[in-house]
Amino acid sequence: MTRHYRVSADIGGTFTDIVYQDFSTGACGAAKCLSTPDDPALAVLQGIEAAIPPDAAIDFFVHGTTVGLNALLTRRGAKVALLTTENFRDIYTIQGNDRGEIFSIRWNKPAPLAPLEHTFTARERIAATGEVVAPLETEDLDRLVEAVEREGFEAVAIAFLFSFKNPAHELEAAAYLSARLPGIPIGLSHRVSPEWREFERTSTTVMDSYLAPVVRRYLETLIGGLSDRLPQGRGLHVMQSNGGVMTAQSASESPLQTLLSGPVGGAIGGRALSAATGRLNLICIDMGGTSFDASLIIDGLPSGSNEAKLEGLPVQMSIVDIHVIGAGGGSIAWEEAGAMRVGPQSAGSMPGPACYGLGGTEPTVSDANLVLGRLDGANFSGGAMALDRDAAVRALATIGDVFGLSAEAMAQGVVDVVNAKMADAIRTITVQRGIDPRDFSLVAFGGAGPAQAGALAEELQIREVIVPVHPGAFSAWGMLQTDVRHDRKETLYGFWDLMEPSRLEAAFAGLQETGRRQLLDEGIADDAIAFERAIDFRYYGQEYVLTIPIPDGPIDMDAVRRSFDVAYDRQYGHSSPENRVEMANIRVAALGRLERPASAPPAAEPARAARARDVFFSGRPLSTPVLDRNGLGPGDAVPGPAIIEEATATTLVPPGWRAAVIDGGHLSMTRETG
């Protein structure tokens, strides 16, 4: 009998994680393999071949990728030509009036992805009402056609004034250019971001076009490699920055939505963990080989927004709030101006940390943990890799000589510095927003997260750390807990007290119908489709907005207004119920519920015998029990100091802490009292 699986993959800078779930039993398994930066799809294919039997069927596959994000961060995207309205050529280059760093004399505006010399204009004009003021002069587009052919532009972005109110000219220009530039992707602002604010909409459209060829090439490679494993080549999905998934075809058409698709999986996993454990407020930390990602679950839901800045450039899209810094197991320790730094440079997967034995010589966080006894060189990644402790000692001794420290003391310093960086990252999304981290549980995952979590909790005075099942692949597990999602929006400006409910209902109905058609085209059953509605509000005279959810059914105008006042007070500590309120945009999330079995508790597996080794804590070696997580059952408790090993991660239980297995097989670490 053929076994059927749901599979997810999280492509990281050092490791690619694979999680697979048996459709009939709900049982999950996880595997890791080294990433292949030159061809990220190759590691995914290798991981699937290693984890899934060749005669098994993959009914659903979803993955998170940083291909688009890496192209943006390294400025290796497509060469983009921007087309805009005549006399408005400078909108994208001038940018906004936000200095970014008000008091810095060294601050410069971020370099645009399409510089001024790559910007072209056409005579046309749409009024703010959507009325055609001047028709599109298509002969103006011939200059752009000639430039694409002459200079080798790989993509075109079109952002005409007020096209979100009337897209006729963008559609006409796209048709004219497509006939003359076959094979060149053309991004249209009214499709990418049908929302007001000219600079932000233009920036979003250019970024989408900048990433389009890179993301499409990657997806084509992956689709080709998986064509024999997926039913008729279908079933391939990509995680989105908004926490939902979309088909590979939709991802090719909307590459911008993939930007944070890897880190978001951890936040969605945190949402599922919150529902399963009853802990409503969580700080989720994902420490992998290259980066440290932090996000919040508040009242059971991921914290999110409808705009973001990436590399200083604004992006208009629904996004789960993820704070990312360069701190991971592969982060390199280095000296600058007489002080030690850790990261953001990473050894990655090739050559990797010195202890990997793949040619790396620079000291990293993983080398430090190995020297401190917190990693087992003979049982790393479930025994799939052997680590070279002598190479790690040599790497740390080299930088230790600069500071007059032994390799062990240098290793402790590396761990302390990276912990301080990560604690500051958590404060950025909590304390700086008026949130007390002590009111949250810390969920630690990623290959390196559970080893550092206890120290982070002590630094932030957090009382509980949760290490989930399969922590090293938790982001990939989270991707299996979400649904297909497509976000729709429309600028609908006006005073709330003058807005006709019938006009609102009609506008929402139009967005919902568009979302419904797309989901039906992707094979989602009509009875599995649902919608979430929201409106952007602000007090009259203000610039920015708060997004307020709108319940299903007839809209209660007074209740919605009160919801805005309450939300404003919660966000800013005050509200103005006596002031008039403006609405700016309406939003609809079209959700396609996916069939999935309930996750089964981890299956019992043979456990390695308990043993002990010296592990350094605060500069002192302590004899520390080393346990196999497979040998721990429900209710079992482990006092610190202790090390709990498993295939995807190593959990460090510091002295004074206690780890216990809770429902679902997760570990809860709390500080012992008395």
First to last CA, the chain: 56
What are the structural domains, with CATH classification, of the chain?
4-71+219-255 (3.30.420.40), 77-215 (3.40.50), 484-592 (3.30.1490)
Q: Residue 664's Cα: distance from chain center in Å? A: 25
- Per-residue pLDDT band for 83 (boundaries 50, 70, 90) equals very high
Report long-range pairs for 302-306 (Cβ below 8 Å, ≥24 apart).
302/243, 302/267, 302/268, 302/270, 302/271, 303/429, 304/242, 304/243, 305/547, 306/489, 306/536, 306/547, 306/585, 306/587
Structure tokens at 486: 């497509």
Nearest to 462 by CA among 416, 425, 426: 426
3-class SS shares of the chain: helix, strand, coil, % to 5: 35, 30, 35
Q: What is the pLDDT of residues 359-374, one digit of tens each?
A: 888 999 999 999 999 8
Rounded average pLDDT over 199-222: 91
Between 199 and 225, residue with greater pLDDT: 199
Rounded to 5 degrees, what are φ and ψ at 320?
A: -75, 130
Collect all residues with Cβ–Cβ distance below 8 Å to 549 and sequence separation of at least 6: 532, 533, 534, 563
- Over residues 25-49, the pLDDT tens digits come to 888 888 888 888 777 778 888 888 8
Which stretch of 64-68, 454-458, 587-591 has the lowest confidence by average pLDDT? 64-68
Residue 577 confidence (pLDDT): 94
User: Tens of pLDDT along 122-143?
Assistant: 999 999 999 999 999 999 999 9
Residue 31 tokens read as: 């595997």
Percentage of the chain lying above the pLDDT 70 cut: 97
Instruction: Report which DSSP code applies to 72.
Output: H
Give the mean pLDDT of the chain.
90
Give the pLDDT score at 23.
Answer: 87
